[in-house]
Structure 1
Amino acid sequence: MTEKAERAEARSEPLRITRSFLDVVEAFLDAGAEELHGYAIIKTTGLGGPTVYKILERMAGMGWITARWGEQTEGPSKPRRRYYKLTSIGMQQARELIAERRSEKPARQAFRPAFGGGHL
């Protein structure tokens, strides 16, 4: 999809901006051009799975992210991962949103245990 087509499909702003939405957007900005899978976003943000996946669905509908299925390589008992990446328009709008809503970014913890173990 061309950038012009992305721009035409993307909404200019999310309908509702929550702390959780901003946390997921920041996770994408922190990842730069890298793809993220849902579980990585859950670990990074500390949010629950249903919350993260609902936000990812909203972002995809806005044209901010693209998604693709990964290959099944880890055995039959593990589901395939879905990978997400910011579009160029999504990147631009995400930066603007974070600059507007979180001008002073709090220091993010370097270590966030996935299952509550370890130190904070």
Structure 2
Amino acid sequence: MRITIPVAKVLAALLAEPGVERYGLDLMRMTGLPSGTLYPVLHRLRAAGWLAADWEAIDPVAAGRPARRYYRLTAVGVAQARRALADLRAAIPDGRPSWGGAEPTGAPAW
């Protein structure tokens, strides 16, 4: 998988708490990515087997909102994400990639 800056942001956000399920808006806030960038990244990660996704089990009428789709890294995804971000850090001269702005909220410190 090609690790672009948006992919790295999503992986870093998910690795901040690997056992926690996140929904799209939550990930958009954590990464600063717009939905048009985030959802294709999530789709690529799912296709690669790095990410699992499940719909929230609610009654949308009773809840007053649509069901959310929750995403979490698979065991393979956790290992691959850690490796990919470590490789990315190793490729950057000072070990700190430039995100083009603030680091994702909730993401681990580089």
Kept in 1: contact 2:52–2:72 (CA 8 A): yes
Native 8 Å contact 2:51 2:73 kept in 1? yes
Letter in 1 for 2:67: R
Shift of 1:73: 5.3
In the alignment, which residue of structure 2 is the partner of 1:55?
A: 41
Cα deviation, residue 109, structure 1? 6.4
Superposition deviation, residue 32 in structure 1: 2.0
- Larger of the two Rg values belongs to structure: 1
User: Unaligned stretches of 5+ in structure 2?
Assistant: none
Q: Which moved more, 1:16-25 or 1:52-61?
A: 16-25
TM-aligned CA distance change 1:20 to 1:109, over 3 Å: closer
TM-score, reference length from structure 2: 0.77
Shift of 1:31: 1.9
When normalised by structure 1's length, the TM-score is 0.71
Matched residue of 1:90: which SS? helix
Once residues 50 and 77 of structure 1 are traced to their aligned partners in structure 2, the CA distance between those partners, rounded to angstroms, is: 25
- Number of matched pairs: 97
State the identity as a percent.
35
Structure of higher RCO (CA pairs closer than 8 Å, 6+ residues apart): 2
Structure 1 residue ranges (4+ consecutive) displaced by more than 6 angstroms after TM superposition: none
Picking from 39, 64, 82, the partner of 2:69 is 82
RMSD after superposition = 2.2
